Amino acid sequence: MYFIQTLVNGLLLGGYYALIGIGMTMILGIVKLTNLAHGEFVIIGAYMAAVVTSALGIDPILSLVITVPLMFLIGFVLQYVLIGNAMKKGPEPALLVTFGLSIIIMDALRLIFTVNEQSISTPYSTKTFTVLGINISVLNLVLFAISIVSILLLTMFLSRSYVGRAIRATADDAEAAALSGVNIKKVYAIAMGVSMASAAVAGLCIGMKSTFNPTSGGAYLSTAFVVVVIGGMGSIPGTLIAGIVFGLAQVIGGASYGQLISYVMLLLVLVIRPRGILGK
C-alpha cells in the first residue's frame, strides 16, 4: 500500500515538475539558449499570480487569464530586444545576459515585495480524500490537472498551428526554416514568450504548493535543468516522463535526499543516454 501511495504522490507531482521544466525545454531545444533566468521568471509568475489574486479577489487559477498573456508579452519583448541581440555575439555572452537578468529580477522583487515568504492560499489547499485506501491531496490533483492541460495545449499549438510548425522547424534547422519564409528572430521571441507563459502557470502552481520569496528561483532553475536533460531537450513527452521520475525521487528521498537522488539520476542518464530518455 505504501508503494502505491508513493507512486500516486510521485505521479501527481510529476506534472507539476514537468511544468517547471517545460518552459526551459522550449528555450534549450528551440532557441538553443541556456537561460539562467528561468527560475526567476517562474518566481515572477508566482508574484504576479499572488498580486492579481489578492487584488481582484478571484480564484487563483482565474488569475492565469491575466498573467499568461502578460508574461508572454514580457518574454517576447525580452527576447526580441535584448537576448536575441546578445545571442548574435555567441552562447557565453547570451548566458551572461540571462544571468544579469536573473540578478536584476531578484533584487527588483526584493525591493518591491521584501524578502518575506509568500504563498497563494486556496480553499482546497489542505483538503484530501481517500480512494481505495490511498490518500489523495486535492491540491496535488488540481496541480496535476493544470499541468496536463497546459502541456496538452502546448503540444497542440506546436503540432497544429503554422507558428507551432515554424517553431519546430526552426529547432531542426534554422537556416532552412528562414528559407521557407520564417522570420527566425520573431520565432525565437515567440518561443521565449511561450516559455514565459508556461513560467506564469508554473509560478502559480509553486505559489499554491509551497511558499516563495525573491531568491527561491535558483532551486527551480536546477529542477528545470534536471527535468529537461533527463527528458531530452525539446521533447515535451520526455519532459513529462522526466517530471514524473523527478516527482517520484522527491517523494522517495524526502526533503533531505530527494534533490540529491535526482541529481545523481541526471548524471547517470547523461552517461548512459547523453541526449536524454526521449532525446534524439
Partner 1 sequence: MSDVLLTIEKLSVMYGDFIAVEEASLTVDEGQIVSLIGLNGAGKTTLMSAVMGLHKPASGKVVFNGKDITSAHTDRIVAQGLSLIPQGGRCFNRMSVQDNLLMGSFPKTARKGAKETLAHIYELFPVLKEKMRDPAGSLSGGQRQMVAIGRALMARPKCLIFDEISLGLSPAVIKDIYHRIRTINELDKTAVILIEQDTRRALRMSDSFYVMLKGRTVLSGKSDEVDAETLKDAYFGI
Partner 2 sequence: MLKRKFTPSHVKVLDSPPMLILCIVLAVGLYIGCFAGLISNKAMRYLVQIFLYITMGEMWNLLSGYAGMTSLGQQLYIGLAGYSVAMATSPLFGLPLFGALLLGAGISVVVSLFMSLILFRLEGMYFSIATLVAAEAFCMLFFAWKFVGQGAGMTIRINPYPTLQEICILSMTICVVALALVYGLLRTRVGLGLTAMRDDITSAASVGVNIFSHKLLVYVIAAFFTALAGGIFFVNKGMIYPDSGFGISWTISMVFIAIIGGTGTVSGPIIGAIIYVFLNEKLADYPGWSNIILGTITILVILFLPNGIMGTLQKKLHFEIFSSKRFSFKLKKAAKEK
Grid coordinates belonging to 118? 509568500
Taking the complex as a whole, the smallest distance from the CB of residue 130 to partner 2 amounts, in Å, to 33
Looking at beta carbons only, is 7 or 169 nearer to partner 1?
169
Pick the closest to residue 23 from 174, 181, 201 (CA basis). Answer: 201
**Among residues 183, 211, 270, 273, the one that binds partner 1 under rule CB under 8 A:** 183
Is 173 one of the binding residues for partner 1 (CB under 8 A)?
A: yes
> Residue 212: what residue type?
F
Is 85 one of the binding residues for partner 1 (CB under 8 A)?
A: no
Q: How many CB atoms lie within 10 A of CB 160?
A: 10
Is 32 one of the binding residues for partner 2 (CB under 8 A)?
A: yes
Is 132 one of the binding residues for partner 2 (CB under 8 A)?
A: no
Is 28 one of the binding residues for partner 2 (CB under 8 A)?
A: yes
d(CA 113, CA 93): 30
**Among residues 50, 105, 177, 208, the one that binds partner 1 under rule CB under 8 A:** 177
Looking at beta carbons only, is 3 or 162 nearer to partner 1?
162
From residue 103 to residue 122, the character string flagging contacts with partner 2 as x (rule: CB under 8 A) and all else as - is: xx-xxx-xx-----------
- Cell numbers 515538475: residue: 17
Kindly state the helix (H) or strand (E) to which residue 128 belongs, with its residue range: strand 128-131
Is 182 one of the binding residues for partner 1 (CB under 8 A)?
A: yes
Is 254 one of the binding residues for partner 2 (CB under 8 A)?
A: no
Choose the one of partner 1, partner 2, none that binds residue 82, judging by a C-beta under 5 to 8 angstroms depending on kind.
partner 2
Taking the complex as a whole, the smallest distance from the CB of residue 43 to partner 2 amounts, in Å, to 14
Grid coordinates belonging to 146? 493544470
> Residue 143: what residue type?
L
**Residue 44, CB half-sphere, CA atoms under 13 Å: how many?**
25
**Among residues 51, 70, 77, 85, the one that binds partner 2 under rule CB under 8 A:** 85
Backbone phi and psi for residue 210, each to the nearest 5 degrees, phi listed first: -145, -175
Is 274 one of the binding residues for partner 2 (CB under 8 A)?
A: yes
Please enumerate in sequence order all residues whose Cβ is within 8 A of that of 112, keeping only pairs 6 or more positions apart, or say none. Answer: 47
Taking the complex as a whole, the smallest distance from the CB of residue 205 to partner 2 amounts, in Å, to 22
> Residue 9: what residue type?
N
**Among residues 12, 166, 199, 221, the one that binds partner 1 under rule CB under 8 A:** 166
**Among residues 22, 52, 101, 206, the one that binds partner 2 under rule CB under 8 A:** 101
List the helix and strand counts (H, then E) for the chain.
11, 2
d(CA 248, CA 242): 10
> Which positions lie near partner 1, rule CB under 8 A?
162, 165-166, 168-169, 172-173, 175-184, 280
